Amino acid sequence: MILAVKRIRDNVIARLSKGALWPARGFVLLSATLLIGCGSGPEIIKISGSKMGTTYHITVVADQPAPDNLAVLIEAQLDRIDHSMSTYKPDSEINQFNQLAVNQTMAISSEFLEVLMIAQSVWTASSGALDPSVGPLVDLWGFGPSPSDDQIPSKTQITAALTTVGFDAVVIDSIEQSILKTRPVVLDLSAVAKGYAVDLVADLLEMNALPDYLVEVGGETRVSGLNSEGRPWRLAIESPSMIGEIERVLALTSGAVATSGDYRNYFERDGMRFSHTIDPRSGQPINHTLASVTVLADTCAEADAWATALMVLGDKQGLDLANQLGLAVYMLARDGTEYSASYSKMFEPYLVETTQQTLSAER
C-alpha cells in the first residue's frame, strides 16, 4: 500500500513538472506580497487567498528568484483539488462518484486515487474510526451543510443511517485507477483533501527550488527549512479552554501539522454535550474526554487523516494506537474544568526542540 501511494505521488509530481496544470477558474481573492530584504538577503514572498471553502496562507523565503506567476501556479494546484473533491461542485469527481450506480466502474484522477488510498490506509489502521462515508450520520445529527434545530435523532434513524455508511463498500483499483461502490454510499474526503492540497503546494515549491516555506490551508500546515529570521518555523497548538489562547509552540524545520478538536462545533441538550465529531462505527457523537489532538507527520494528508481518526478514538485508545504505529501525537483531554496533556513517544523530541528554541530566543 505504501509503495502504491508513493508511485501515485511520483506520477502526480511528474505531471506537475511538465506543466499539466488545470487553468484557474472563477474569481479568487489573491494577494501576493513581495518583501525584498536589503543587500543580499532572501526575498520573502507571502501569498494568501480563499479556496476550498476556507483560506490559505503561504510564506516562502526565497534565496533565488521565484517564478513570476507563483501565485497563479499555487491557485491552479488548489483548483485541482477543489474541482476534484469538493462536495459543493456538481461536476466534481467526488460528486460523480456519489451519484454513481452500484457496481458501476469510474475512472478517476491520480490525485483522487491517492487521497482515497490514504483514507483507506488510515481507515484500516484505525479500525474504521476514520470513514469518509460518515456524511449521512453527520447530516442526521445536524452538523451537515443544511441548517438544523439541534434535534437528537432516534435509535431507529441512527440504525437506518448506519446502513448507508461503510468505507468497505468502496472498491479501489490502483492499477486501473478506478473505483466502484458495492452499496449506495456517498463520500466526503474533507478529512484528507485539505491536507493533500497543502502537500501539492509544498511539492510545487520544492520543484521550483524553494525549500524554505510555510504552507497553510484551513489550519492544516506543512513547513520546510527556516523562516525569514533563519530560525525554525514556530507553530502554535491552540488551547481548548479559550479560542486563540496558545497551549504550546512547536519549532519545526520540516513536516506537517494538523489538529482536530470538538470544542468549536457542538450543541447541548438537557445537560448533555453533543460533539460534531461522529463515530462512524456507532453512529453517535464522541462522548470521551479528548478535546483536541495534534498530529505531526511527513505529509499533511496523513496528519489530517490521523487527527480525525484519533479524535474519534479518544485519548486512551488513540494514544495507545499512536504509540503502536509510531505516530507523533499531542492530546488535550478534559479533566474537570481543566485540561490535561498527554503525548506519544514519537512526540517527545518535539517537546525538547521547542524548549531549546525558546531558551535560544530568550538569550
What pLDDT, on the 0 to 100 scale, is given for residue 52?
84
| DSSP tally for the chain: helices H, then strands E | 10, 16
Res. 262 pLDDT band, cuts 50 70 90: confident
Predicted confidence at residue 243, as pLDDT, reads 66
**Which residues does 192 contact at the CB level (< 8 Å), separation at least 6?**
115, 118, 119, 122, 132, 301, 304, 305
List the 31-36 sheet strands across, edge first: 31-36, 43-51, 54-62, 213-217, 220-224, 254-261, 290-297, 328-335, 338-343
Identify the residue whose cell numbers are 481573492: 29
pLDDT above 80 for 128:
yes
Q: Where are the alpha helices (DSSP H) in 86-154?
A: 93-98, 110-125, 135-140
Grid cell listed for 191: 478529512
Please check the confidence at residue 39 and state whether its pLDDT lies above 60: no
Distance CA(178)–CA(108), nearest Å, equals 5
Check pLDDT > 50 for residue 28.
no
Confidence (pLDDT) at 231: 95
**What is the C-alpha to C-alpha distance for residues 8 and 131, in angstroms, rounded to an integer?**
22
Region 264-285 average pLDDT:
70
Residue among 345, 300, 286 nearest 321 (CA): 345
- Which of helix, strand or coil describes residue 68? coil
pLDDT of residue 148: 63
pLDDT at 205: 98
Q: What is the mean pLDDT of the chain?
A: 84
- Asked whether the predicted pLDDT for residue 345 surpasses 70, the reply is yes
Q: Which three cell numbers stand for residue 169?
A: 463498500
Cβ distance 8 to 114 under 8 Å?
Answer: yes
Q: So where are the chain's domains?
A: 2-84+191-362, 94-187
Query: What pLDDT, on a 0 to 100 scale, did the predictor assign at position 335?
Result: 86
Query: Which architecture does CATH list for 2-84+191-362?
Result: Roll (3.10)
Which pLDDT band holds residue 238 (cuts at 50, 70, 90)? confident
Please work out, in degrees rounded to the nearest 5, the angle formed at the alpha carbon of residue 292 by the alpha carbons of 289 and 294: 140
**Which amino acid, one-letter code, is at 170?**
V
Residue whose C-alpha is closest to residue 347's, from 308, 312, 313, 306: 306
- Are the C-beta atoms of 224 and 254 separated by less than 8 Å? yes
- How much is the average pLDDT of 236-243? 80
**Does 23 score more than 50 pLDDT?**
no
Question: Any idea which fold 94-187 has?
Answer: T-fold (1.10.3980)
Percent of the chain whose pLDDT exceeds 70 = 79
Average pLDDT over residues 195-210: 97
Residues counted in the chain: 363
Q: What is the distance between the alpha carbons of residues 257 and 149, in angstroms, rounded to a whole number?
A: 34
The answer to whether the 2-84+191-362 and 94-187 domains have the same CATH topology is no
Are 167 and 125 within 8 A, CB to CB? no
SS3 category, 131: coil
pTM attached to this predicted model: 0.84
Mean pLDDT for 84-96 is 92
Instruction: Decide if pLDDT at 352 tops 70.
Output: no
* Burial (0-12, 13-18, 19+ Cβ within 10 Å), 146: exposed
Q: CA–CA separation, 107 vs 253, rounded Å?
A: 38
Q: Annotate 52-71 with b (16+ C-beta within 10 A) or e (fewer).
A: beeebebbbbbeeebeeebb
Compare 278 and 122 and report the one with higher pLDDT: 122
Predicted confidence at residue 38, as pLDDT, reads: 42
